[in-house]
Structure 1
Amino acid sequence: MNKILVTGANGFVGSSLCDTLCRRGMDFVPVVRKADLNGQISVGDLGPDTDWTAALDGCDVVIHLAARVHVMNDSASDPLAAFRAVNVDATLNLARQALAKGVKRFVFVSSIKVNGEETTNQAFTAFDEPAPIDPYGQSKLEAEIALQELGNVTGLEVVIVRPPLVYGPGVRANFRRLMQLVKIGVPLPLGAIHNRRSMVAVDNLVDLLVLCASHPAAAGQVFMVSDDHDVSISELLRLLAAAMGKRSMLLALPAGLIAGAAAVLGKSAVASRLLGSLQVDINHTKSTLQWQPPVSMEFALKKTVAAYRAHS
C-alpha cells in the first residue's frame, strides 16, 4: 500500500483529505508549517530550502496542497515574486527531494486560474491554452510547467488537478459571506443573473485526489474537477436558502446596473465573480479515471450549511 505525504494537512482541503485517508485505513504523513496535533510533521515556512527529509521517509506519493493562496488586495510589494517563492520554487524543491527519497508520484493541486478568470460560450478544458490573469494563476502555471519538465526528465509521475471554487464544512471567504447574508435575510439584487459557474465540494475534490494518488491512468495527466452541476449565482442563493429553511430574498436587477454600481464602489472584482461565468469540463477526468463525483451539490450544500449553522 502506498504511503502518502500530504502537505498543507491542517488547511481546509488538507484536513478533509487526511480525515478521508484515515477513514479508509490508508498510510499517510500529515505535514504542516507548525504542528499542533500529534502525528503532524512540521517543516516551517515553505521555501526553496525547506528540508523535507524526515517527512518523506518511506513515502511513495506526495499530494501537494500547501501554497501561497490567492487573496484580494494583496499587500506584498511584489506579489508575483511572493507567489513564485512558495508556489514554484518551494514546490520544485519538494519534488526534487521527493525524487531523491524514492517517491514515484507527485499530485499537484493547481487552480482553474491557470486557464483564466471567466468563460463565455465554452467551458475550460485541460487541453486549452493556459491564460492566467493574476500573479497567483501565473505562479500555478509556472509550477505545473516546472513539474512536467522534471517528470519528463526523471520519470516522476506528475498529476495535476485544477479545482474551481471549493466549498464544504468550514469554508470561509466569499462563500461564507454569502451564507451569512442568506441567514440574516438581506435582499440581494441577483435574482435576474443567469450566469453559469462550476464549483467543487471538498468531499468530491478529496475523492479525486485519493484516486489520482494510485490510478495508473492518472500519471502525466491534467484533470479538471467539479460537482458536474453548474449553477447561476441566483440558483446557488436559492439552494443555500432552502438548506437553511429560509425564503430566498432576491431582487431582479439588470446585470449592467449591478456592475456599474460595483465599479463606482470600487468592487468590480467582486461583481465579476458574482455576475460572470466560469465553467469547467470534467469529461476527460471522468473518462480517463472512470470517476464520478460521489456527492451531489445539493447534499454538499446542506452539509456545508449545517456546519455553518452549528458554529455561527
Structure 2
Amino acid sequence: MMISILGANSFIGNNLFSFFSSHEIIKVSLRQTDWSSQIKYSEILINLIGKAHDHQNLATEQEFFYVNVSLTKDIFNEFINSEAKLLIHVSSLAALEEFESIKPLDEEEKCNPNSWYGKSKLEAELWLMNQNIPPHKKIIILRPPMIHGVGDKGNLGLLYKLISKGIPYPLSSFKNKRSFLSIDNFNFFIEKIVQNYESLDSGIYHVADDESLSTNELISVIKKVENKSIINLAFPKFVIKGIAIIGDYIPIPLNSIRLKKMTSDLEVSNQKIKTALGIDKLPLTAEAGLIKTIKSFKNK
C-alpha cells in the first residue's frame, strides 16, 4: 500500500514514518513545487501539515490561517484529483476546546476554540466537512489532545527538565485530570484506520489514551523514572497565577497559557473511534506511554 505523509518531517511524522516501514511511504513537503505530483498515485494521504501553538506570540493570525486552512484546502483539492481513497486529516482538540471541560468531551460538543490556532483548526474542519466527497473517497478528521513521545519538544519536556534538575514542583495545590495521547497509541489508531477505512464513515473522531492523568501524576512518573525524592510544593493558587501573568510579559518558563494547560481539567472520550474500529484496549496505558516518553528524555 502506498501512503503519502504530508508534513512527515515533524515529530509526529517522523514517528509515523518509522512505524509504517513495511509500507511504501512517500514523505511529502509542501515546500516542494511538485508536491502534488508526488501524492497522485497514493492510496492514502495523511495530512500532518499545521502551525501549532505559538507560546511566544510571534506568529500572526494570517500565518495560522494560511497554514491550517488554506493549505488544507489545497491538499483536499489534490486529494479529489488523485487516485487516493482516504484522506486522514490530523486536526486538534483545540478546535473544540483548549483549556477545560467539566466532563470527557465527545464529538457532539459545541466547539469553543480560544486561540488563532484553535480557530484556524476548526475552520479547516468545517470547510472539509462541507465539501462534496465522491462516494469512493473518505475523509477522517482526527482530534488528538497533546501527543507525546520520542522526539517530543513540547511542554512535557519543560516539565521534565524542571524535575530532573531536582527543582520541587510548585503547582501541587492544583488538582486536575487531562487526556493525553502517546505517539505509540496515535500510530496504532492510524494503523487501524488504514486497515479498516472502508467500513468507517467520513467524519470527526477523537483520539486519546484510555486513561486521564493529573499533572501531579505526571510529576510522580518523572520522579520515579529519575529516581528522585523531591517534595512537591503547594504554593497558594493566587501566587502561582500572579507569577504566570508576569510570564505573559517576560520570558520565564511559566505563563498563563502553560498554567492553564498544566492545571485545568480537559478530558476526551475516545469511545466513538474505538467502537467504529472494534478496539477494546489501546496498546499502552497512559502511564506506560508517559514512562516511555520520559525515558526518551532521559536517554537524550
Letter in 2 for 1:224: H
| Shift, 1:156, TM fit | 3.2
| Shift, 1:120, TM fit | 3.5
The answer to whether structure 1 residue 307 and structure 2 residue 296 are counterparts is: yes
Letter in 2 for 1:28: I
Contact in 1 for aligned 2:4/2:45 (Cα 8 Å) = yes
The answer to whether structure 1 residue 28 and structure 2 residue 25 are counterparts is: yes
Matches within 5 A, 1:74-223: 74-76=57-59, 79-152=60-133, 156-215=137-196, 216-223=198-205
The answer to whether structure 1 residue 226 and structure 2 residue 226 are counterparts is: no
Query: What is the aligned length?
Result: 292
Equivalent position SS for 1:108:
strand
What CA deviation, in whole Å up to 9, does each residue of 1:170-191 have, x standing for no partner?
Answer: 2113111111111111012222
The answer to whether structure 1 residue 270 and structure 2 residue 274 are counterparts is: no
Contact in 2 for aligned 1:52/1:97 (Cα 8 Å) = no
User: 231-240 vs 283-292, which deviates more?
Assistant: 283-292
> What are the ranges of 5 or more consecutive residues in structure 1 without an aligned counterpart?
33-42
Q: Provide the rounded CA distance (Å) in 1 between the counterparts of 2:121 and 2:6.
A: 16
What CA deviation, in whole Å up to 9, does each residue of 1:194-244 have, x standing for no partner?
Answer: 111111101111111222234233331211111111111111111111122
- Alignment equivalent of 1:238, drawn from 220, 243, 249: 220
| Shift, 1:82, TM fit | 1.2
Contact in 1 for aligned 2:169/2:219 (Cα 8 Å) = no
Map of 1:10 onto structure 2: 9
Q: Provide the rounded CA distance (Å) in 2 between the counterparts of 1:166 and 1:242.
A: 21
TM-score by length of 1: 0.87
| Shift, 1:18, TM fit | 0.7
Flag the 1:218–1:244 CA change in 2: closer, same or farther, 3 A.
farther
TM-score by length of 2: 0.91
Structure 1 vs Structure 2 CA RMSD: 1.9
| Shift, 1:55, TM fit | 1.2
Contact in 2 for aligned 1:107/1:213 (Cα 8 Å) = no
Equivalent position SS for 1:150:
coil
| Shift, 1:192, TM fit | 2.6
- Alignment equivalent of 1:296, drawn from 273, 280, 285: 285
Q: Provide the rounded CA distance (Å) in 1 between the counterparts of 2:87 and 2:150.
A: 27
Equivalent position SS for 1:198:
strand
| Shift, 1:295, TM fit | 1.3
| Shift, 1:276, TM fit | 1.1
Q: Provide the rounded CA distance (Å) in 2 between the counterparts of 1:203 and 1:248.
A: 29
| Shift, 1:155, TM fit | 5.6
> What are the ranges of 5 or more consecutive residues in structure 2 without an aligned counterpart?
249-254
| Shift, 1:250, TM fit | 0.9
**Percent identity among equivalent residues?**
26
Q: Provide the rounded CA distance (Å) in 1 between the counterparts of 2:49 and 2:94.
A: 16
| Shift, 1:265, TM fit | 4.4
- Alignment equivalent of 1:67, drawn from 25, 29, 50: 50
Letter in 1 for 2:272: H
